[in-house]
């Protein structure tokens, strides 16, 4: 389909393009336009029926949106913004340079402009910033058939209609009722009798992570957002929550890999920004790794008389680091999904202790066979290395399991305490165990 249209574009057969393209999904139209040169993209964009054009516009990249706004007429901008949903408009404005923002705002109604300004004031990642105001509100005295008639009159064809909100005359939220319940219920029943008063609502300043976990816990499709006086101000729908979940997962991953978290796409982020996000933690970790170096200095004489000991440093450090981050990853993820709670700390400790025992003994055994029998390393050195490995794995796993829970207890972010910090701790412990054991076993 996309290739056919691309060929038609190449041959300049734009009227045929128009016939074909309207059959496509708006997401696909946007990604097709993304691949065309700017002039051709613009011609086709202008060919689109107005409703489709606005929807396609909301799926385009920021660069193309900016280009379009800069070259089209005020009247064309007006037809797009009239048809854009408020939350999409706000999302777009947040990414545009000021001249483009001005041009868009000039072409919106005064009422919409006020709403936009209100939205732009909500803190990033708060309920206010991700909610939408296109919802259906009902009164509890209404009959079901009148409600359906009312929805037909005001309804916008968007997923926000799937749940309706019942408010009193002060706009306070009293209940929710799903569209399907309205359809399934006899027309003469009164809303009050079928609305669900045991609903979950959230204030405008609630964090999106908290909202996402409520959606997951209660299997919600939409959630009302209320102000301090419990008045309905907007709703959040599941399609936005899917994006929030992916964004939170990305941020957790970045933190666990020792980076400042961001929701910018990699390819769209500048080299200096990327470098800045990575540098801070690398500096902290580089300096903390010098403490590990200090441990080695203390055992300089030992190493001088048995350089062979040095060759096992990478293996001990890597295995310790990997063991620790296995445990910390599982625990951090469990905390994020609320499968593990703070009160489970002793359970985790005991579980990690036993797991690390099994894993440590297996690794130590394989290691001993390999270095003593295959590499013909001295017996005492082989024993030293293998015992050090066992203890390193135990310490790494227990620390990796317990530290994220302690971090959360102290209100730190568990993800930040993950991989990197644990590696540093485990390195220092591993080398201390190794050299102390070597000193006493080898009696140097």
Nearest to 30, CA basis, from 62, 70, 72: 62
Site for a second copy in 101-130 (CB under 8 A): none
Site for a second copy in 250-309 (CB under 8 A): 250, 253-254, 256-259, 265-267, 271-272, 274-275, 278-279, 281-283, 285-287, 289-290, 292-294, 296-297, 300, 303-304, 307-308
With a CB cutoff of 8 Å and minimum separation 6, the contacts of 52 are: 22, 26, 29
Candidates 36-44, 86-94, 211-219, 403-411; binding stretch for a second copy (CB under 8 A)? 211-219
Q: Is 406 in the site for a second copy (CB under 8 A)?
A: no
Give the CA count within 13 Å in the CB-facing half-sphere of 225: 23
With a CB cutoff of 8 Å and minimum separation 6, the contacts of 323 are: 356, 359, 392, 393, 396, 397, 400, 426
Candidates 69-77, 78-86, 120-128, 422-430; binding stretch for a second copy (CB under 8 A)? 422-430
Residue 72: CB minimum distance to a second copy, A: 25
With a CB cutoff of 8 Å and minimum separation 6, the contacts of 328 are: 400, 401, 403, 404, 417, 418, 419, 422
Cα dihedral across residues 428, 430, 434, 440: positive or negative? positive
Q: What is the DSSP string of 258-320?
A: T-----S-GGGS-HHHHHHHHHHHHHHHHHHHHHHHHHHHHTHHHHHH-GGGGGGHHHHHHHH
Residue 106: CB minimum distance to a second copy, A: 29
Q: Is 4 in the site for a second copy (CB under 8 A)?
A: no
Q: Is 138 in the site for a second copy (CB under 8 A)?
A: no
Residue 169: CB minimum distance to a second copy, A: 25
Tell me whether residue 120 or residue 184 sits nearer to a second copy (CB atom). Answer: 184
Q: How far apart are CA 10 and CA 31, in angstroms?
A: 17
Tell me whether residue 206 or residue 418 sits nearer to a second copy (CB atom). Answer: 418
Residue 339: CB minimum distance to a second copy, A: 5
Find the binder of a second copy among 370, 378, 380, 440 (CB under 8 A).
Answer: 370
Pairing type for strands 232-237 and 222-226 reads antiparallel
Q: Is 342 in the site for a second copy (CB under 8 A)?
A: no
Tell me whether residue 25 or residue 99 sits nearer to a second copy (CB atom). Answer: 25
Q: Is 321 in the site for a second copy (CB under 8 A)?
A: yes
Site for a second copy in 24-63 (CB under 8 A): 24-25, 27
The size of the chain, in residues, is 444
Based on the number of CB atoms within 10 Å of its own CB, is 423 exposed (0-12), middle (13-18) or buried (19 or more)?
Answer: buried
With a CB cutoff of 8 Å and minimum separation 6, the contacts of 128 are: 119, 122, 204, 205, 225, 233, 234
Nearest to 437, CA basis, from 381, 398, 378: 381
Tell me whether residue 101 or residue 274 sits nearer to a second copy (CB atom). Answer: 274
Q: Is 189 in the site for a second copy (CB under 8 A)?
A: no
Q: What is the DSSP string of 238-252?
A: HHHHHHHHHHHHHHH
Q: Is 333 in the site for a second copy (CB under 8 A)?
A: yes
Find the binder of a second copy among 64, 382, 423, 432 (CB under 8 A).
Answer: 423
Bridge partners of 320, per DSSP, are: none
Residue 151: CB minimum distance to a second copy, A: 6
Find the binder of a second copy among 420, 422, 432, 438 (CB under 8 A).
Answer: 420
Q: Kindly provide the residue ranges of all beta strands, DSSP E only, lying in 307-392, ordered along the sequence.
A: none
Count the residues of the shown chain that bind a second copy, applying the rule CB under 8 A.
113
Candidates 62-70, 203-211, 224-232, 424-432; binding stretch for a second copy (CB under 8 A)? 424-432
Q: Is 318 in the site for a second copy (CB under 8 A)?
A: yes
Q: Is 155 in the site for a second copy (CB under 8 A)?
A: yes
Find the binder of a second copy among 52, 101, 105, 148 (CB under 8 A).
Answer: 148
Find the binder of a second copy among 315, 383, 442, 444 (CB under 8 A).
Answer: 315
Nearest to 41, CA basis, from 87, 6, 90: 6
């Amino acid at each position: 389909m996309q290739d056919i249209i691309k060929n038609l574009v190449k041959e300049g057969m734009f009227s045929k393009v128009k016939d074909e393209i309207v059959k496509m999904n708006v997401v696909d139209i946007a990604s097709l336009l993304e691949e065309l040169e700017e002039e051709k993209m613009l011609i086709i964009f202008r060919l689109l029926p107005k409703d489709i054009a606005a929807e396609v516009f909301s799926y385009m990249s920021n660069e193309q949106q900016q280009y379009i706004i800069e070259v089209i007429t005020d009247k064309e901008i007006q037809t797009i913004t009239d048809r854009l949903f408020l939350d999409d408009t706000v999302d777009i404005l947040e990414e545009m340079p000021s001249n483009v923002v001005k041009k868009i705002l000039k072409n919106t109604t005064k009422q919409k402009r006020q709403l936009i300004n209100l939205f732009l004031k909500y803190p990033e990642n708060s309920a206010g910033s991700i909610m939408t105001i296109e919802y259906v509100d009902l009164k509890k005295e209404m009959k079901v058939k009148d409600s359906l008639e009312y929805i037909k009159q005001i309804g916008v064809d968007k997923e926000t209609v799937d749940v309706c909100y019942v408010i009193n005359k002060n706009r306070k939220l009293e209940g929710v009722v799903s569209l399907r319940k309205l359809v399934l219920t006899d027309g003469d029943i009164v809303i009050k009798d079928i609305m669900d008063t045991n609903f979950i609502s959230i204030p405008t300043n609630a964090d999106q992570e908290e909202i996402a976990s409520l959606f997951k816990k209660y299997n919600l499709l939409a959630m009302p957002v209320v102000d301090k006086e419990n008045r309905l101000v907007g709703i959040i729908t599941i399609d936005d929550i899917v994006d929030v979940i992916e964004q939170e997962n990305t941020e957790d991953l970045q933190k666990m890999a020792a980076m400042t978290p961001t929701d910018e796409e990699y390819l769209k982020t500048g080299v200096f920004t990327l470098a800045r996000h990575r540098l801070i933690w690398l500096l902290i970790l580089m300096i903390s790794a010098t403490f590990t170096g200090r441990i080695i200095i203390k055992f300089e004489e030992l190493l001088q008389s048995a350089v062979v000991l040095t060759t096992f440093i990478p293996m001990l450090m890597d295995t310790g680091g990997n063991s620790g981050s296995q445990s910390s990853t599982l625990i951090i993820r469990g905390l994020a999904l609320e499968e593990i709670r703070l009160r489970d700390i002793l359970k985790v400790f005991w579980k990690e202790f036993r797991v690390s025992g099994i894993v440590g003994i297996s690794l130590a055994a394989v290691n001993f066979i390999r270095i003593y029998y295959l590499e013909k390393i001295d017996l005492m050195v082989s024993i030293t290395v293998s015992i050090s490995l066992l203890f390193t794995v135990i310490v790494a796993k227990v620390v990796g399991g317990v530290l994220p829970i302690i971090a959360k207890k102290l209100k730190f972010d568990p993800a930040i305490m993950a991989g990197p910090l644990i590696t540093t701790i485990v390195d220092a412990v591993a080398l201390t165990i190794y050299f102390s054991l070597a000193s006493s076993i080898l009696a140097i």
